[in-house]
């Protein structure tokens, strides 16, 4: 199953419209100097901006209508600089993470394939797969794939089931008390999300994981046998600041941000996840410093309102201070190379996985994010760069007539 999963990950990583330029594989000391950052007029010291933004009374304008009960998601600090993709996660934690998923009474060493026997597969790591459907795969990039009881079939083949509904958990008008029959009983959306969050918290605790994981969306599918299953889509947070997950489906241009895909899970019974993992994995701070100053939310709202048409009113379902990422080289040094090309030459991981390979560096871009429509794959999201004031959009809504 790992070949299938690895291919699926590659497709996820490459969908962020990020160009794979030469700087991806340059050694760290040869990356081009970054363009000097020009701060927007109106920035104020970070602590002041965050305090003002938390206390802001959101007022409707001619083209922005904020949902009643909306609370601004705003952390205690915001960073700028570089973060790095995990590189040796499987080396450090594979034994712990494999055995945590596969019960001792099930485990059989005969079904374990060590990393060194599958170096042609990426992300690197060992795999456990038995004939009864137990599957566990630990990735060097900071993720896993867990499956049992056919959970992988549900995850990879959602198109074969009837999509029922989706729930954006951080929107104030989402009814998380909706309930659905699953194998063994009934679960509400809130219960499924709580299961997913408890599972993620326990998993993160095994490795002192560098990111917090939280369920952001729940999608519901009808199995056509009287039961349903939930797909949990997580969001990763770096020191309480979310990494933006929205992918620009139509690649309309602008800066080459990547959508940072977090973990996914499947819950089809009252027993909890039967599938969990994938995504981009984990990142750790590489060279980061707190932002000295940013735009307060009030100024970001004004910039967005000025940019939008005065003839259309947009309902804002959620406002959050988040990071978007851009690829910024690699921190992997030649002595850390573990892969080879067709000629047998040692190469960095990012030459095999050009976006999201181990030791990949990313620039952090803090932005005020305004969610107008959170329907998965049909999102309308507006961004205001918290430092430069630049306004940008992702509009994945279907074009009329298509």
Q: Concatenate the DSSP letters of all residues of 245-309 into one string.
A: ----TT---SS--B-----EEEE-BTT-EEEEE-SS--EEEEEEEE-SEE--HHHHHHHHHHHS-
Model confidence at 325: pLDDT above 90: yes
Q: What is the pLDDT of residue 36?
A: 76
Q: What is the pLDDT of residue 354?
A: 86
**Owner of token pair 């950052």:** 37
Average pLDDT of the segment spanning 208-229: 97
Min mean pLDDT across 105-119, 307-321, 326-340 is at 307-321
Question: Residues 313-352, buried b or exposed e (16+ Cβ, 10 A)?
Answer: ebebbbbbbbbbbbbbbbbbeeeeebbeeeeeeebbbbbb
Q: What is the pLDDT of residue 18?
A: 40
**Owner of token pair 């430092």:** 387
Q: What is the pLDDT of residue 41?
A: 94
Provide the pLDDT confidence category of residue 1 given band limits of 50, 70 and 90.
low
Provide the pLDDT confidence category of residue 309 given band limits of 50, 70 and 90.
confident
Average pLDDT of the segment spanning 217-238: 98
Provide the pLDDT confidence category of residue 211 given band limits of 50, 70 and 90.
very high
Q: State pTM to two decimals.
A: 0.90
Provide the pLDDT confidence category of residue 162 given band limits of 50, 70 and 90.
very high
Greater confidence, 9 or 380?
380
Secondary structure element (H or E) that encloses residue 185, with its range: strand 185-188
Q: What is the pLDDT of residue 26?
A: 40
Q: What is the mean pLDDT of the chain?
A: 90
Model confidence at 32: pLDDT above 70: no
Q: What is the pLDDT of residue 22?
A: 28
- The sign of the torsion formed by the CA atoms of 353, 354, 356, 361 equals positive
Q: What is the DSSP letter of 26?
A: S
Model confidence at 31: pLDDT above 60: no
> For residues 222 and 165, what is the distance between their CA atoms, to the nearest angstrom?
10
Average pLDDT of the segment spanning 222-241: 97
> For residues 157 and 140, what is the distance between their CA atoms, to the nearest angstrom?
26
Model confidence at 5: pLDDT above 80: no
> For residues 381 and 257, what is the distance between their CA atoms, to the nearest angstrom?
14
Q: What is the DSSP letter of 156?
A: H
């Amino acid at each position: 199953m790992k070949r299938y999963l690895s291919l699926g990950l590659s497709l996820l990583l490459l969908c962020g419209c990020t160009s794979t330029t030469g700087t991806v594989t340059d050694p760290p000391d040869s990356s081009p100097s970054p363009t000097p950052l020009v701060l927007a007029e109106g920035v104020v010291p970070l602590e002041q901006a965050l305090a003002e933004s938390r206390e802001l009374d959101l007022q409707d304008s001619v083209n922005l209508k904020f949902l009643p009960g909306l609370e601004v998601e705003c952390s205690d600090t915001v960073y700028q600089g570089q973060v790095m993709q995990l590189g040796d996660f499987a080396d450090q934690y594979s034994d712990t993470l494999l055995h945590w998923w596969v019960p001792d009474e099930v485990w059989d060493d005969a079904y374990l394939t060590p990393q060194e026997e599958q170096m042609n597969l990426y992300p690197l790591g060992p795999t456990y797969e038995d004939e009864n459907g137990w599957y566990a795969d630990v990735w060097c990039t900071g993720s896993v794939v867990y499956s049992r009881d056919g959970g992988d079939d549900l995850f990879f083949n959602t198109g074969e089931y009837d999509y029922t509904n989706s729930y954006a958990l951080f929107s104030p008008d989402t009814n998380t008390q909706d309930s659905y029959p699953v194998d063994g009983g009934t679960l509400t959306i809130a219960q499924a999300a709580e299961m997913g969050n408890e599972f993620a918290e326990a998993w993160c605790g095994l490795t002192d994981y560098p990111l917090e994981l939280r369920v952001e969306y729940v999608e519901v599918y009808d199995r056509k046998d009287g039961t349903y299953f939930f797909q949990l889509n997580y969001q990763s947070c770096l020191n309480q600041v979310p990494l933006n997950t929205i992918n620009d489906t139509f690649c309309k241009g602008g800066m080459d941000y990547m959508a940072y895909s977090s973990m996914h899970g499947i819950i089809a019974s009252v027993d909890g996840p039967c599938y969990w993992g994938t995504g981009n994995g984990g990142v750790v701070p590489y060279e980061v410093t707190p932002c000295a100053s940013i735009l307060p939310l009030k100024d970001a709202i004004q910039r967005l309102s000025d940019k939008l048409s005065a003839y259309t009113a947009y309902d804002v379902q959620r406002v959050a201070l988040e990071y978007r990422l851009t690829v910024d080289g690699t921190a992997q040094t030649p002595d850390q190379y573990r892969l080879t090309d067709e000629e047998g030459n040692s190469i960095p991981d990012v030459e095999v996985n050009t976006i999201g390979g181990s030791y990949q560096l990313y620039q952090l871009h803090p932005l005020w994010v305004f969610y107008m429509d959170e329907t998965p794959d049909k999102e309308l999201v507006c961004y205001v760069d918290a430092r430069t004031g630049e306004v940008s959009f992702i509009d994945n809504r279907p074009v009329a007539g298509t």
